[in-house]
A and B are shown apart, each in its own frame.
Chain A
Amino acid sequence: MDDARLIFQLDKTALLRRLQTTEQGLNPAQITRRLQEFGPNILEQAVRKNYLLAYLRQYWQFFALLLEVAAGLAFIADHFAPDEGTDILAWAILAAVVITATFTFWQEYRTDKVMAALLMLMPALVSVRRQDQTVSIDSRELVPGDVMLLEEGDKVAADGVLIEVNSLYLNLSSLTGESAPAPRDLAAGPADRQLEARNMVFAGTTVVTGSGTALVTATANATEFGRIASLTKNVRKMITPMQREVIRITHIMTVLALSIGCVFFGLGLFFGKGLLMSSIFALSLIVANVPEGLLPTIALSLSLASQRMARRQALIKNLDSVETLGSTTVICTDKTGTLTRNEMTVKGLWLAGGEEINVSGEGYRESGEFTIDKENESTAARLEELLLAGLLNCRASIDQDSIRGDPTELALIAAARKRHIVAPVWHKVHENIFTSDRKMMSTVYQHDDAILLFAKGAVEVLLPHCSGYWAADHSRQTLTEASRKQVNDQADIFENQAYRVLAVARGTSEQEGELTLLGLVAIVDLPRAEVAAAVATCKLAGIRLMMITGDNPRTAAAIADMIGMQYDLLLTGLELERLSDEDLRETLEHQDVLFARMASSQKLRIATALQNNGEVVAMTGDGVNDAPALKKADIGIAMGLSGTEVAKEAADMVLLDDNFASIVTAIEEGRTVYFNIKKFVTYILSSNVPEILPYILQFFLKIPLPLSVIQILSIDLGSDILPGLALGSERPEKNIMLRPPVSHHEKLLDWEVFKRGYLFLGLIEGTAAMVAFLTFLHVHGWQYGDRILADPLLHRQAMTMTLLGAVTCQLTNVWTLRSWDFSVFKLGFFSNRLLLAAVAAELAWIWLMLNVPAVQKIFNTAPVATTDLWILLPFPILLLCGHELYKWQRRRAGTKDISP
Chain B
Amino acid sequence: MRVVAAVNGLITSELAALYALRYAAVHGFPLTLLHVENSQDRLDDVQRSMNVIEEAAALDHVSCERLLLAGKPITAIRKYLADNRVDTLFCSMSRHHKYFQTSLRKQLISQPLPTDLAVVQVVRLDAASYVKNIVMTIEEDRLSVKKFTFFTAFAKAYEADTEIYSVTLIDARKLAELDLPLTRNLLKTINDHLSHYVKLASFLNIPLHIKHAVASNEIDQILHHLSHHNFELMIVGNRWLPNLSRLFRNQPIERLLRATPINTIVFYGRDNG
Which residues of A does B touch, CB under 8 Å?
A: 1-7, 18-20, 29, 33-39, 44, 46-47, 144-145, 193, 217-218, 220-223, 226-228, 230-231, 234-236, 239, 604
Contacts and interface: CB of A to CB of B under 8 A. Distances in A.
Contacts of A46: 219-220, 223, 255, 259
Interface in B18-34: 18
A306 B11 CA distance: 54
B16 to A, nearest CB: 11
B268 to A, nearest CB: 21
Contacts of B129: 2-5, 18
B119 to A, nearest CB: 14
Contact of A239 (B59, B124, B176, B224): B176
B112 interface: no
A221 B123 contact: yes
A6 B126 contact: yes
B94 interface: yes
A39 B219 CA distance: 20
A218 B259 contact: no
Contacts of A226: 261
Given A38-B122, A221-B259, 15 more contacts: A1-B56, A4-B130, A5-B129, A6-B126, A7-B130, A18-B125, A29-B42, A36-B96, A144-B125, A221-B123, A222-B261, A230-B261, A231-B224, A231-B228, A236-B220
A29 B260 CA distance: 26
B227 interface: yes
A625 to B, nearest CB: 11
Interface centre among B14, B18, B129, B219 (most CB of A within 10 A): B129
A226 B227 CA distance: 9
Interface string B227-268: 110100000000000000000000000010011111000000
A861 to B, nearest CB: 45
Contact of A37 (B42, B94, B128, B220): B94
B126 A7 contact: yes
A2 B255 contact: no
A228 B92 CA distance: 26
Nearest to B260: A221
A851 B42 CA distance: 89
Contacts of A236: 220
B226 interface: yes
A294 B112 CA distance: 58
A20 B259 CA distance: 24
B60 interface: yes
A285 to B, nearest CB: 30
Given A36-B94, A37-B96, A1 B11 contact: no
Contacts of A44: 258-259
A1 B60 contact: yes
A145 B262 CA distance: 17
A503 B175 CA distance: 57
B193 interface: no
Contacts of A29: 42
A39 B259 contact: no
A37 B224 contact: no
Interface centre among B18, B122, B261 (most CB of A within 10 A): B261
Interface centre among B125, B228, B230, B258 (most CB of A within 10 A): B125
Interface string B6-18: 0000111010001
A744 B131 CA distance: 45
B95 interface: yes
B59 A1 contact: yes
B125 A19 contact: yes
A2 B220 contact: no
21 contacts: A2-B18, A4-B130, A5-B129, A5-B130, A7-B130, A37-B94, A38-B12, A39-B95, A39-B96, A44-B258, A44-B259, A46-B223, A46-B259, A217-B124, A221-B260, A226-B261, A227-B227, A230-B259, A231-B228, A234-B221, A604-B228
B18 A234 contact: no
Contact of A234 (B125, B128, B224, B230): B224
Interface centre among B18, B223, B230 (most CB of A within 10 A): B223
B228 A20 contact: no
B257 to A, nearest CB: 10
Contact of A222 (B176, B223, B262): B262
Interface of B: 10-12, 14, 18, 42, 56, 59-60, 92, 94-96, 122-126, 128-130, 176, 219-221, 223-224, 226-228, 230, 255, 258-262
A1 B42 CA distance: 26
B132 to A, nearest CB: 9
Contacts of B219: 46
B44 to A, nearest CB: 10
A193 B255 CA distance: 27
Contacts of B176: 239
Nearest to A34: B11
Given A46-B255, A230-B224, A234-B227, A18 B96 contact: no
A220 B258 CA distance: 11
A226 B122 CA distance: 15
Contacts of A19: 125
Given A37-B12, A46-B220, A7 B125 contact: yes
B98 to A, nearest CB: 8
Contact of B95 (A37, A228, A230): A37
A230 B96 contact: no
Q: Which 4 pairs show the lowest CB-CB distances between chains A and B? A: A7-B126, A39-B95, A36-B96, A222-B123
B7 to A, nearest CB: 13
Nearest to B222: A234
B196 to A, nearest CB: 25
A18 B221 CA distance: 32
Nearest to B125: A144
Contact of A230 (B128, B227, B255): B227
A231 B223 CA distance: 8
A145 B11 contact: yes
Nearest to B219: A46
A38 B260 CA distance: 12
Nearest to B12: A37
A771 B142 CA distance: 70
A541 to B, nearest CB: 28
A180 B42 CA distance: 48
Contacts of B259: 44, 46, 221, 230
Nearest to A229: B227
A607 to B, nearest CB: 13
B224 A235 contact: yes
Nearest to B263: A222
B11 A37 contact: yes
Contacts of B122: 37-38
A366 to B, nearest CB: 43
Contacts of B228: 231, 604
A628 to B, nearest CB: 8
A831 B176 CA distance: 43
A458 B121 CA distance: 47
Contacts of A234: 220-221, 223-224, 227
A760 B122 CA distance: 69
A222 B123 CA distance: 6
A217 B125 contact: yes
B56 A228 contact: no
Contacts of A20: 11, 14
Contacts of A193: 230
B94 A2 contact: no
Contacts of B60: 1
Nearest to A45: B259
Given A34-B11, A46-B220, A236-B220, A231 B126 contact: no
Contacts of A5: 129-130
A239 B223 CA distance: 21
A37 B92 CA distance: 9
A618 B93 CA distance: 44
A1 B176 CA distance: 50
A524 B264 CA distance: 48
A36 B10 CA distance: 10
Nearest to A605: B228
Contacts of B126: 6-7, 18, 217
